[in-house]
A and B are shown apart, each in its own frame.
Chain A
Amino acid sequence: MNNSLLTKTLKQKLEKSETDAFLEIFDIREPRDTGALSGVATAIKDNILYKGHHASASSKILENYVAPYSSTVVERLLGAGAVIVGRTNMDEFAMGSSTENSAYKKTKNPHDLTRVPGGSSGGSAAAVAEGLVPLAFGTDTGGSVRQPAAFCGVVGFKPSYGAISRYGLIAMGSSLDQAGIITTSVQEALTAFNVVRGKDVYDSTSINIDEEVKPVRTIGIPRALIEKEGIDFDVLENFNRTIDTLASQGYAIQDVDIKHVEKSLAIYYIVMPAEVSSNLARYDGVRYGFSAEADTLFELYSKTRGEGFGDEVRRRIMLGTYVLSSGYADAYYRKAQALRGVIREGFDTAFGAVDVIATPTTPSPAFKIGERTSDPLAMYLADIFTVPASITGLPAISIPAGTVKREGKALPLGLQFIAPYKKDLSLFTLGQDSEKII
């Protein structure tokens, strides 16, 4: 598709769009190169830097920030011929599970406009689900790509920690953050992953994953995690039916017990805020971003940050400050870090018996706009099944798998597969096969 046609088609689609997925549509340029993504209209989440373009992380504090350099993700996309068409709405600094924490607008779920698209990459998921773009990038710290993908009925993939460079991503929790991919099919996600993955000199934590693909025969089900925490009855039923279908097609199904995995969300809500409080110290009103009028340096900092950050961001910064403070750091932060290791060992042991692990991506379908905004914990629990792969750095994919009815509307659900570290590619072969079966 040539460029003017791409612009025209996108504009026509945007006029009919009802989801408010985008914060801005860029002036579309000719593809810089040709490659695996030649001419593919690609959306990026508002926390991924693209030189010369605004990137605000949906925060007031970065309202006028223009990226002085491009992220490695963007560089590799452009190098493969992709056309980056705009930036998508998100929860402020990627903190949230509904995209309601954006300082700019509310994005809606294309399957029911009174419901959230999930988050924090809600704009990216809604844009793909509504057919505005075939490919969107998000970031996933505790489920922020997989959960909105599940809520919107599309594919969401989070790689092994390090498989995609974090250079040029606005940091939230650096030991957890990963760029992720949202598409309508597993094949498209793989094509995009092959373009952006691999070591990068600008990110010393980046890695090369294993190229060898081991066929998946045995799927493990962590029953204790799925059935112990609250899960909507029909979501569990739908999951069990999906697993039965996979079994009928020749996959061996086996229950697995991963020690302490049910503590993952608690661990996550210690480690992540700790890293948030440290990472977001950089927003000081001095070098870039919003700057409040103030008489003293202390006032400049506290007014800038008090006014520039929204509720959820301030809540997590204070929580992080608390768990890192002297006297509490051992009880909270160090303990949580140690438990991360224990859970990773639990996964490694389970992977001795099974090739992948399956869970529902979320315990419920998309919830109503406004339903959980007054209760932070209720919001956090939307990530109960996605957080385990995040704190262990394991690759995971969510594929559409069935629907449940709410108020007469069929709402999509996701099936999540988690693979061993660096075995990302096996998720795509399994995912493609599952797409055909379920």
Chain B
Amino acid sequence: MVESAFTLQNYATISNMISTKEVKNLADLARLELSLSEVERFKDDISSILNYVESINSIDVETSERGTEEVNIFREDTITNKPFSYTDSLLSLAPKKEGAYIKVQKILSQDE
């Protein structure tokens, strides 16, 4: 069997790029509940990935973004479907509803 020539040790062993606290903060920002063991695992994973992508910083380049070549595509703002034609199929997907409304958790709590 031929072994793959990839050497990942350089990236995989460095796991100090991001702290446990930072991972917890990221998870909060991204609204992802993680267990303590997941936090530790993701800390190592994200550190090794960041260490890998870090290599672009050795290149000097003027920071000007470049996206698609097509710009400002306009169209007429017209109604393309009959009113309410999607209401039932979209509402039927909602986890919680009341009548023709999607039900959400209270947004403001009493102490706010």
Q: Is A315 close to B, CB under 8 A? A: yes
With A315-B45, A377-B49 known as contacts, the answer to whether A338 contacts B65 (CB < 8 A) is yes
Tell which of A204, A336, A376 touches B49, judged by Cβ atoms closer than 8 Å: A376
Closest to B67 in A: A175
Q: Are B94 and A287 in contact (CB under 8 A)?
A: yes
Q: Is B32 close to A, CB under 8 A? A: yes
Tell which of A175, A266, A298, A318 touches B26, judged by Cβ atoms closer than 8 Å: A318
In the complex, which residues 164-202 of chain A have their Cβ closer than 8 Å to any Cβ of chain B? 175, 201
22 contacts between A and B (CB under 8 A): A65-B93, A69-B86, A161-B68, A175-B68, A233-B2, A263-B56, A285-B95, A296-B105, A296-B109, A302-B28, A302-B32, A303-B33, A305-B30, A314-B34, A318-B26, A325-B26, A336-B53, A341-B65, A364-B4, A375-B12, A376-B45, A377-B49
Q: How large is the interface on A (under 10, 10 to 19, 20 to 34, 35 or more residues)?
A: 35 or more
Distance in Å: Cβ of A67 to nearest Cβ of chain B: 9
Q: Are A342 and B32 in contact (CB under 8 A)?
A: no
Distance in Å: Cβ of B38 to nearest Cβ of chain A: 8
In the complex, which residues 101-120 of chain A have their Cβ closer than 8 Å to any Cβ of chain B? none
Q: Are A287 and B93 in contact (CB under 8 A)?
A: yes
In the complex, which residues 269-291 of chain A have their Cβ closer than 8 Å to any Cβ of chain B? 269-270, 277, 284-291
With A266-B56, A267-B56, A287-B102 known as contacts, the answer to whether A314 contacts B61 (CB < 8 A) is no
Q: Are B93 and A68 in contact (CB under 8 A)?
A: yes
Q: Is B70 close to A, CB under 8 A? A: yes
Residues of chain B having any CB pair with chain A under 8 Å: 1-2, 4-8, 11-12, 18, 22-23, 26-34, 38, 42, 45-46, 48-50, 52-57, 59, 61-70, 73, 75, 86, 89-90, 92-96, 102, 104-107, 109
Tell which of B33, B46, B56, B68 touches A302, judged by Cβ atoms closer than 8 Å: B33
Q: Is A246 close to B, CB under 8 A? A: no
With A269-B49, A339-B56 known as contacts, the answer to whether A302 contacts B7 (CB < 8 A) is no
Q: Are A300 and B105 in contact (CB under 8 A)?
A: yes
Q: Are B63 and A330 in contact (CB under 8 A)?
A: yes
Q: Are A297 and B104 in contact (CB under 8 A)?
A: yes
Chain A residue numbers with a CB within 8 Å of B57 are: 331, 335
Q: Are B93 and A286 in contact (CB under 8 A)?
A: no
Q: Are B96 and A291 in contact (CB under 8 A)?
A: yes
Distance in Å: Cβ of B5 to nearest Cβ of chain A: 4
How far is A267 from B23 in the complex, measured between Cα atoms in Å? Answer: 22
Given pairs A288-B95, A337-B65, 14 additional interface contacts (CB within 8 A): A66-B93, A69-B86, A205-B73, A230-B4, A269-B53, A303-B33, A306-B32, A323-B53, A325-B26, A338-B61, A377-B48, A378-B6, A381-B6, A407-B1
Q: Are A377 and B66 in contact (CB under 8 A)?
A: no
Chain B residue numbers with a CB within 8 Å of A433 are: none
Chain A residue numbers with a CB within 8 Å of B45 are: 315, 376
